[in-house]
Structures are given as structure tokens and as C-alpha cells.
Structure 1
Amino acid sequence: MKRIFILWIFTFLCFSRSIAQENPTIRINLGGYPSDMPKQALLLSDQKLRKPILVLKNSSGESIKEFQGDLHEQAWHPFSHYYSFDFSEVSTAGSYYLESKDGKIKSQTFQIGPYPAWQEDVVSFIRTQRCGFNPFTGEFCHQLDGLSFFGIRPDSTRIDATGGWHDAGDQLKYLITSSNTTARLLMAYQMDPDGYMDQVNARGLPGQNQIPDILDEAKWGLEWILKLHPSPNELYHQVADDRDHRGFKLPHEENADYGWGPNSFRPAYFATGEPQGLSQYKSQATGIANLAGRSAATLALGYEVFSQIEGYEVFAQSCLKSAHTLYEMGKKQEGYQQGNSFGAPYRYEENTWADDMEWAAAKLYKVTKKPEFLEDARRYGDLIAAWSWMERDSASHYEMYPYVNMGHYALWQVGNEEDKQKMVNYYEQNLEKIQARANQNPYGVGHLFIWCSNNLAAAVATQAMLYEEMTGSRKYRPLLQNHVNWLLGLNPWSSSMITEIPEKADTPVDVHMPFWKILNKSVKGSLVDGPLWSTIHQQMLGITPSKPDEYAHLQPLHIKYLDDWADYSTNEPTLDGSAELLLILKYLSLE
């Protein structure tokens, strides 16, 4: 008993020491701050400090200016006092750090200036998710995707659903997320057509092919959407299901058995607009307009981009033709289709659709100038209005997806002044809801801590960015930057939420990903799921941490984040979550 007591005392002292080493402590954006954006740091302490001052110093140790902290009324466990330091007035590019006047507390070094081209790393991560041929492993996989179910063809009819991307650490493929991922790639390219690298060919292997890598990846996504729409009245929305979840495996070593043996056929689910499921858990569905509309919008974007590139005109026309037929499918079956599960209650629970049809109608109007598309876009825009997860205090998994209403942005681009003002008002109503929540915590963030919360943080930043483009107003720049700050380390754990970004900082390492778990290889540029409300985290099925929590002394009571491969709910990189970063990272990298 004495030996146990001594061990307990030793453990307590070590734990106390870890807190002492972190207290007081400075939180910064580890990736730095663009020159013309707001700049904030936090000082966290377990006791009240008298007029705390931090000195901004350059890389040579020269003092630039002193800044006094403002005490926040709100505090998150385990620290009782939070002080914010605003140094937005400093805009000269360079390396800096913050230090207390007595030199006892010092931040990590950070940069002021444009962000590096991290969007290229995100594109590289998306490439590692390729199915069919995976350039990361150099192996072919899932060559028998898939067999049709619930469709107009007899069940188990072979269709070509090869290609696309694996969704996350698993190897399912969803039109729900892949359509949005493809669209983000195309939109990011349109932001700066001359600003992307060409280092890989169409297969994703080293070698130039005269189009940027971001378009190689977008074309990969477009081709898969076209495969899932093989005729004017057919649309498939998912390949495989959670029978996939049989431990970590490399894509070409598939061990899941869907009834035809491992590494064999996988089901391809037809979008019927009705509830689906082969076992206990059934999806909900009222139509297919979310999938048909979003896919049509994405294909219209594909036409916009590839019709301008010599040699891709025929491909562009095939995109436009399918965009039209998909849009008609959506009009005939307004409503939403959700993801399918087999043995667990988890699925993509998207339950909005008018935003996707608005997006498609606006894009089709842009390329055809047919007035009926503009009228449709207005009607769908009024149907969805300001409805968004941003209006809610909680939401289900992927409810009201995508997390930014791109239909409103697309209608703003092509509409008249009345349309433009209405779309601005919808965005502003959402952002005001986020701002109200952000005002209630020292980090200045207002997204929800539901599953894939980091996607929501990125979405807030993106919507604030688009609002600024639409209005010219910088009203939400602090909100934009605070959510970027959160993702890049100005958070309770002082850890970025993007693998290996920024370089030489604390970033997710022990991720829920087969390339890490099997090959011990980290892939740069992936956004992990992010922190969850503790009440949700403790109810997630099958999570048993594999090691002691390195952030145990920093965890707030109400949210949890673990850098542990066993925690699929907070530390799994996702395809569409990473794509959610593309627009904002590109924007922040521009001079």
C-alpha cells in the first residue's frame, strides 16, 4: 500500500508540474497572420494577473512594441483567466514572437505575411485518397466497384463505379462529400488560375501534363460523378458501407466482405429518394435534389473551367450535358437522400436540398443565359433562405450540408441588385449568429462542437471571406481570422488541426488513417475531425484511447480533442473537411 501511495504522489507531482510548465502560457496562431488581417494572441493563467504586458519581438530579439492584455469575462477550464492581446497594427512581414516583460513566458515563433501555398498540400492529401489507382501506394484497388442495388437495374447488376476518392480513414465512397470536394477544387482554381503547380500527371504520379495539379484532381472527381450518372434517369450515391470497418487496411488489401468474398464486389446504391438500408439502420430520404443539384452545379463548374482549356472541350461538353440531366432529375424529385449504414447508427444525415438546386440553377444560368434557370435559382434561394447549421445550437452529423450555402454565392454572382442584396442579407444573418456565440468565449469562435467541428470552423471563415467579396465590407474579418486561428493552434491544446501544417509546430500525428497506422507515413495537408462536446464524445461507440492523453492537463471540461489513432471522432482526416480549407487557404496566401 505504501508503494502505491508513493506512486500516486509521484504521478500527482508530475501532473502538477505539467500544469505549472503551461501556466501562464501564450496561445498564438502557429501558422502566423497575413499582414492586413487581425492579429490576436491569448495569455492563459490560473490566477488573475495585474496589467499583463507582452512584448512583440522580431527574430533578432529586437523589441517592436508592448501590448497590454484585456481580461475576458469568460474562461474555459483548466485556466481561470484569459487575456487577449491585439497587435493588428503590425503589418511588416517577418518572423516574430511574444514575450513577457520579465522574459519568463515566451510564445513560439510565428510569421506575419502571406501564408505559404498550403492549398497545394491539401490537394496532395486529396490525391492520396484516390480509389481505382492510388498514386500514394502505386497500387490498383477496388477494381470491381460495384453492383447496383435499389436501382432501375436488377439488384447485383454490374456497373462501373470505379474511381473517385476514399472518404476518410475508411474506404467508402460518397457522392454526398465527393461532389462538394470536386466543386471546392474547381472554385479554388478559379480564384487564381495561374497560381497552382503542375508537378503530377493525370494519374497523380510525378510528371507535368500542362494542367495544374488541382485540375487533375478536380477532373478525377468529375469523372466519377459522370460514372455515377450513366443515363438520364440514373444516379448512384454511395459505394460500400460500414461493413468496410474491419480494422486498418491498405486500399489494395481490402478485407471487407459484402457477400462475394474479400477484395471483391461492393454495393453501389442507387439514389431512389426513399429510405435505404440492408440491415437494422435505415437512412431517411424524401428525394434526391441535394445530390442531383450539387452534382449538377459541380459539373457546370467543370464545364466553365475545362471549356477554356485546349484539348478538353469534349470533356467539358459531357459535363454540361450531364449537369442538365441531373438538374432535371432534381426538379422531379425535390428532397434529400442521405448516406447508408449497415451495422452502426452513423451516417451522413444531410437534410437540406434547396441550396443545392439553387447552386445548380445559378451555375446553369451563368453558362446558358436561359432565364428559366435564373427564376429557378431565385425560387430555391427563397426556399432555403438563411436556414443553416449556423442558425442552430446543435445539429446532427452532416445535417444541413454543405456547411456553406454556395447557392447563395452563385446567385449573387449572376443576379440583379435585388438578388445580390438578398443573398448578402442571408449570409449576414448566419454570420451574426456565429458572432453572437463567438462573443461568449475568449477564442472568439462560434462554430458548433459536433462531429467534424473543424469543417464548421473552416466554413465560417469561408463564408466570412465570401461576404467580404460580396460587400467590400471587412466587418467579419476578425471572425474569419479567429476561426482560422483556431484551426492553426490558437486553441486550448496549442495544436494545429491540419497534419504537418504549419511545419515545425504541434500538429496531428497519431491520426486515424491506414497510411499512418500501417506504413507509419504521415500525409501533409489533411484536416482532422476536431474537438467534440464532451457529452457527445463520451457516447461515441468503440473509442478506447490507445495511450495516455498528452493534452489531459489542457482539456476543457466541455470539449475534448485527442491526438490518438483510436479516436476516429476527433482525429480522423476527412476528404471533404480538407477540401473545406481550399478557398480560405488560397485567399490567405495571396499578396
Structure 2
Amino acid sequence: MNPAQNPGKNVFSLVAFLIIFGIVPGINAQNTAKTYIRYNQVGYLASDRKVALALSKEPLNGQFVLQNGTTKEVVFKAPLRLSQTTPWSPFAYYYELDFSGFQTPGTYQIRLENVEAPSGTFTIGRYPAYQEQLLFFMRQQRCGYNPYTDQVCHRGDGRTFFGPLKDSSYIDASGGWHDAGDQLKYLITSSNATARMLLAYEWAKDRFTDTVDDLGHARPNGIPDVLDEAKWGLDWIHKMHPAPDQLYHQVADDRDHRGFKWPHKDNADYGWGQNSYRPVYFADGKPQGAGKYKSEATGIANLAGRCAAAMAIAARIWKNDLKDPIFAEKCLKAAIELYALGKQKEGYQQGNSYSQPYRYTEDTWADDMEWGAAELYKLTKKETYRTDAKRYARLIGTTSWMEKDTAAHYQLYPYVNVGHYALYDIADAKTKAELADYYRHNLERVTNKGLKNPYGVGVPFIWCSNNLVTAFVTQAILYERMTGDKRYRAALMAHRDWLLGRNPWGTSMFTGIPAHGDFPLDVHLPFWLFTKKVIPGGLIDGPLWETIHGKMVGLTLSEPDEFAEFQPNHVKYMDDIGDYSTNEPTMDGTADAIFMFAFFAIPGK
């Protein structure tokens, strides 16, 4: 941890000595308590709500100051304001440090009055284009040719099961992305990651650059890097949809979990020897599992709808922006076929496990079909798609994790219903009002929960809680774009700031971001273990309820908890390679966050 992020660590004993012996008269003894400042380590746009927190076990009074990060000149000061929310252990007192009224661009630090140690530095003004660093992380998750290792992995993907071909028949399922620190590949997450990157590009085309080619080599190819990465996902989806009536949904299973390994030296053995063929599971909409544990699948519409949405958006981009009518037509054909598959088998396909109970338990699908139908209407203008989209919108309504206090792992994936946003612009006035109400219903619930704690965060701390934080930020942004209503902007900021350091642990939740701050280092990722190099841009799983964290199978910490003095009783985060539940970067969470960073990448927004 960076001591600058935790003022008082090195100075309070000295200050106490000076006070006791009267060497420094007039200093308020209350401010000699061990105090920590939590703030957005990246910084703020000039117009942002800018509120840091001071955490203390004893009461404080006085003021805080904002000082120039270079000259140390005081540029702003204001009183400490005691938070009226319920404090989280182990600190009894939380003070809000509100400098929203200060808007001059520059680099700054926060310091409590009469305490010499300031916070680390952060900026006010232009927001860095961190969406490009998140794309770097996505490239190192690639399966097949990986530009980070400059190796080709998993050439034997794969051998089919549960499908129309005889079990163990070979099909080409190479490519795609490894899901997280392990090397499985899921259409559940990859379809969402692909579609969300395409959404980010369409919404903010001017916020993406071209620095690499389609293989991820450092040479521009005339295509924004976000589209190169999205196409890596599109190409894999095409492989997983080899015929109009076929869709495969997963490559490999938890037999993969044989310790950390280089992807091109995979020691997993699925019956064909180590580093050989891996199973490819067909999406038949029925419960599946090659071992003890079975899924609870009822259909395939969640996958088919999301894939259809991704393909429809891609058809539009490749036709209109990249002037590639051949690939655009291929994507349009796939979108129509996939959507039809979803209508034939409404319901949800879940992930498959083998020897462990953990799997992706998604159990919603109407939101995905709504998204696919809305995007297909925009392309084809066929009224049947718009009619379908409205039906699916009303079927899913407000269904979301935002209504709940808990949920199973990936149960309500993909955490934000983009279908409501996609339908809004092509809907009649009555439907528009309904769609806005659906979003508002859920935004209200998360916002109100957040008002009860000092951090303003209202998500349940289930596995992958950071994905929920990103989803709330995304839904608040989409709601603003739909309606122009900015009533949730303060809650949006609180959740963004949580991800970037205004949390109990004083750490960003993205690897390597910001480079000068505290960020997850000892992450559950093989490349970190083997190289000790930080791969910037990965969003980690995030904090977890203590009642869940303490029961995770196979979770063994590799070192003493460096955050022990900050851990709340009810929620835990560990920067430890052994903690796969809170400190593992995920591909889909990272892809989802690209939209958030693109939104803030332009000053004055």
C-alpha cells in the first residue's frame, strides 16, 4: 500500500508528542486520531460531484484543505462534515470532504487541517482514456493467438458433446477469450462482452483510437482497436454458430482448474491427454453436466438473443463505418438465424461444471431477446421485430439484481438490461414511458440503499460485485441518455468513485489504474505469478459478503491480509493471488467497464 494514500501512518505519533509537551499549541488534539482519506484516485471532471471521505475511530473537527499537488499551495478549504449514515466497522466516524465547488483543472491533494500527511495526487479536469487500457487487458485474455505471450494456445478446441454430432466429434471452436484467470470460454460472457464493446463504440466513436492491428500487434490498421477486439469475439461467435439451427455455448469446464499455467502449456486433461482437445458443449436448452453437477437450463434464448444483438450491431457498423458489406451481410444473416433460434427455444442456457458446484446460473432471457429484436428492427425495419421487442420488454419489466438483496452467481446476468435502451428510440410514447419507469424503478432502489452507508454504494456484495457496480453506472448513464434526467448523477459518481478508490481499502478495483495509485497487484492471474508484471485494465471480482467469503471452496491466502486494519466486519476484499473470489480479473467485467470509461473520457461531460 502507498502510505500517501493513508495520511497519518507516519506522522500521528510525532504530532501527539508535540501536543503533549506543548510544542505545537493550538492544534486540536482530536485530529491526532489515526485517520485515513478515501477518494477517487484517478480524479474528477470539473463539473463532477467531488466528495472524499475521512475515516477515523475517534471524533474529528476542523477543516480539510485542497492543495496543489506540486507547489502545495492551498487552493480550497471547507469544514469537515460528519456523515449521517450508519458507519461501517472498524471506523466509528466518517467525514465528508466536499470540494464540488472547486473546478479549476490541475493536480491536487487533500489534507486534513493540522495533519501534515496529505492524500495521494489526483486530477481535476480531463479524464484519462482508460478505455484503451481495458482493451489491452482484453487482448491478453485472447485464446488462440495471444499477442501478450506471442503464442498460440488451445489448438485442439474442441470435441462436441450434447449436440447433433456424435459425442467427441471435432469442430473448430478456437479463438475467443479466456474467461478470467482460468482458461474456460463461455458464450454466456463472451456474447455480452462483444455486444457491449460494440455499444460503447457506437455511442462514443470519437473516444477510441487505432494503435494495434487485428492480431493485437502495435501497428495501426485503420480500424479502432475496440472494433478489432469486438471482431475477435464476433469471429468466435460465428464458429459457435456453425449452422442455422446450431449454437454451442462453452469450451472446457472446471477440469481446467489444475493450478496456474501458461495457456499454451495447458496441463488439463479431458481424456485426450494434457494440452490437447477440450470439450465443446452444445446449447440444447436442457440441463447439462459431464460430471456430478448439472445445470438447470430451460432454453437458449439468453445466448441467442445476446448473440443476435451483437451480430445486428456489427452488421450496422461494418456496413456503414468500415465499408465491409461482405462481413456485414454475414453478421446480419447470423443475427436473423440466432434470433429465430431464441424464439424457438425460449428460456435460458446455463454454464456447465464438472467436479465443483460453481457455474454461471443465469436464469433470465427476455431482456436478451428484447435487445436482439430491437437491433434487428433497426436494421430490417420489419415490424415483427419491434412488436417482439415490446412484448419481451414487458415480460422482463424491472427484473434485475437491483431489486434484490442477494442473488446466485451470475443469476441475473448481464446485470443491466440494454434491451430497454435499444428499444427506447424506436418505441411509441407509451412504451418509452414504461421503459424509463423500468430503469427508474431499479435505479431508485440501488440509490436508496446507498444512502444508508458512507460510501453511497447500494449493490449487494455477491460474487463479482464490481460487475454490479459497473452495471449500475451503465444503467444510470443510459437512463440519462434516454430521458435527459440527471437525478441519479450523484449516485452514479459514488459508484464510479468506489471502483477507483473511495472504498474501505483505499484501492482502485482495476489493475494498473491509476499507475501512481493503489491498485490490485497480487491478482489471481497466471501471468502475474509467472512474470510479476502488471497487466493494466483488468476489473477484479470485488468485495464479497463475509458470510460468503468465509465459505469459498479452496480459497487459501498466500500472505497476511495487508488490509486487515480496514476490513469491515460484513464485507471482505483481499489483494491476494489465492483469493479467486475477490481478486480475480474477469474478461466480461472489464469489457462492461469500457463503456463507463468512454463516457468520462471527454472533459465537461
Q: Which of 422, 428, 452 is equivalent to 2:440?
A: 428
- 1:27-73, Cα deviation, whole Å (9 max, x unpaired): 111111111121111111111223x3111222322222222222223
Residues 403-412 or 304-313, more deviating: 304-313
Give the aligned partner of residue 427 of structure 2: 415
**Cα distance in 2 for residues equivalent to 1:418 and 1:590:** 33
Q: Which of 64, 69, 72 is equivalent to 1:54?
A: 64
Give the aligned partner of residue 531 of structure 1: 543
Give the aligned partner of residue 6 of structure 1: none
Give the aligned partner of residue 96 of structure 2: 84
- 1:152-198, Cα deviation, whole Å (9 max, x unpaired): 11111111101000000000000000011111111111122233221
Give the aligned partner of residue 287 of structure 2: 275
Give the aligned partner of residue 68 of structure 1: 79
Inter-CA distance 393–316: structure 2 relative to 1 (3 Å threshold)? same
Give the aligned partner of residue 186 of structure 1: 198
Structure 1 residue 108: Cα displacement: 1.6
**Cα distance in 1 for residues equivalent to 2:424 and 2:149:** 42
Q: Which of 357, 362, 368 is equivalent to 2:380?
A: 368
Contact kept? 2:267, 2:275, Cα under 8 Å: yes
**Cα distance in 2 for residues equivalent to 1:25 and 1:144:** 52
Give the aligned partner of residue 173 of structure 1: 185
Quick check: 1:138 aligned with 2:179?
A: no
**Cα distance in 1 for residues equivalent to 2:439 and 2:207:** 28
Residues 282-291 or 417-426, more deviating: 417-426
**Cα distance in 2 for residues equivalent to 1:482 and 1:251:** 37
- 1:441-467, Cα deviation, whole Å (9 max, x unpaired): 000000110000111111111111111
**Cα distance in 2 for residues equivalent to 1:126 and 1:321:** 27
Instruction: Give secondary structure in 1 for the equivalent of 2:88.
Output: coil
Quick check: 1:31 aligned with 2:42?
A: yes
Residues 476-485 or 412-421, more deviating: 412-421
Quick check: 1:586 aligned with 2:598?
A: yes
**Cα distance in 1 for residues equivalent to 2:594 and 2:38:** 24
- 1:484-523, Cα deviation, whole Å (9 max, x unpaired): 1100010001010100101111100100001111122220
**Cα distance in 2 for residues equivalent to 1:509 and 1:107:** 20
Give the aligned partner of residue 462 of structure 2: 450
Q: Which of 247, 259, 268 is equivalent to 1:247?
A: 259
Q: Which of 481, 499, 506 is equivalent to 1:487?
A: 499
Inter-CA distance 39–357: structure 2 relative to 1 (3 Å threshold)? same
- 1:51-101, Cα deviation, whole Å (9 max, x unpaired): x31112223222222222222231111110001122111122111112122
- 1:520-542, Cα deviation, whole Å (9 max, x unpaired): 22200000001100000000011
Contact kept? 2:538, 2:585, Cα under 8 Å: yes
Contact kept? 2:348, 2:364, Cα under 8 Å: yes
Quick check: 1:163 aligned with 2:172?
A: no
Structure 1 residue 279: Cα displacement: 0.8
Instruction: Give secondary structure in 2 for the equivalent of 1:98.
Output: strand
Quick check: 1:115 aligned with 2:100?
A: no
Contact kept? 1:497, 1:528, Cα under 8 Å: yes
Contact kept? 2:43, 2:123, Cα under 8 Å: yes
Instruction: Give secondary structure in 2 for the equivalent of 1:580.
Output: helix
- 1:243-295, Cα deviation, whole Å (9 max, x unpaired): 00000111100110000001111000000101000111111111100000011
Quick check: 1:226 aligned with 2:238?
A: yes
Contact kept? 1:39, 1:87, Cα under 8 Å: yes
Return the letter of the residue paired with 1:207. R
Query: How many pairs were matched up?
Result: 575
Instruction: Give secondary structure in 1 for the equivalent of 2:197.
Output: helix
Give the aligned partner of residue 305 of structure 1: 317
Contact kept? 2:33, 2:58, Cα under 8 Å: no
Give the aligned partner of residue 318 of structure 1: 330
**Cα distance in 1 for residues equivalent to 2:300 and 2:422:** 21
Q: Trace 1:350-361 onto structure 2 (pairs within 5 A).
A: 350-361=362-373
Quick check: 1:574 aligned with 2:586?
A: yes
Inter-CA distance 294–484: structure 2 relative to 1 (3 Å threshold)? same
Give the aligned partner of residue 8 of structure 1: none
Structure 1 residue 543: Cα displacement: 0.9
**Cα distance in 1 for residues equivalent to 2:117 and 2:457:** 25
Contact kept? 1:289, 1:356, Cα under 8 Å: yes
Return the letter of the residue paired with 2:501. G
Instruction: Give secondary structure in 2 for the equivalent of 1:418.
Output: helix
Contact kept? 2:76, 2:102, Cα under 8 Å: no
Give the aligned partner of residue 29 of structure 2: none
Give the aligned partner of residue 305 of structure 2: 293
Residues 379-388 or 456-465, more deviating: 456-465
Q: Which of 41, 56, 67 is equivalent to 1:45?
A: 56
Give the aligned partner of residue 503 of structure 1: 515
**Cα distance in 2 for residues equivalent to 1:436 and 1:497:** 23
**Cα distance in 2 for residues equivalent to 1:557 and 1:96:** 32
**Cα distance in 2 for residues equivalent to 1:470 and 1:91:** 27
Structure 1 residue 202: Cα displacement: 1.1
Structure 1 residue 576: Cα displacement: 0.4
Residues 166-175 or 458-467, more deviating: 458-467
Contact kept? 2:401, 2:407, Cα under 8 Å: yes
**Cα distance in 2 for residues equivalent to 1:189 and 1:309:** 11
**Cα distance in 2 for residues equivalent to 1:240 and 1:512:** 19
Structure 1 residue 311: Cα displacement: 5.0
TM-score by length of 1: 0.95
Contact kept? 2:207, 2:601, Cα under 8 Å: no
Give the aligned partner of residue 418 of structure 2: 406
- 1:537-568, Cα deviation, whole Å (9 max, x unpaired): 00001111100111011111001100000000
Structure 1 residue 105: Cα displacement: 4.8
Contact kept? 1:26, 1:105, Cα under 8 Å: no
- 1:129-151, Cα deviation, whole Å (9 max, x unpaired): 11111111001111111111001
Give the aligned partner of residue 577 of structure 2: 565
Instruction: Give secondary structure in 1 for the equivalent of 2:425.
Output: helix
Structure 1 residue 310: Cα displacement: 4.3
Give the aligned partner of residue 349 of structure 1: 361
Instruction: Give secondary structure in 2 for the equivalent of 1:42.
Output: strand
Return the letter of the residue paired with 1:25. Y
Return the letter of the residue paired with 2:373. A
Return the letter of the residue paired with 2:371. W
Instruction: Give secondary structure in 2 for the equivalent of 1:238.
Output: strand
Return the letter of the residue paired with 1:38. R
Contact kept? 1:169, 1:572, Cα under 8 Å: yes
Contact kept? 1:71, 1:81, Cα under 8 Å: yes
**Cα distance in 2 for residues equivalent to 1:184 and 1:577:** 10
Percent identity at matched positions?
A: 54
Contiguous gaps of at least 5 residues in structure 2: 1-8, 17-31
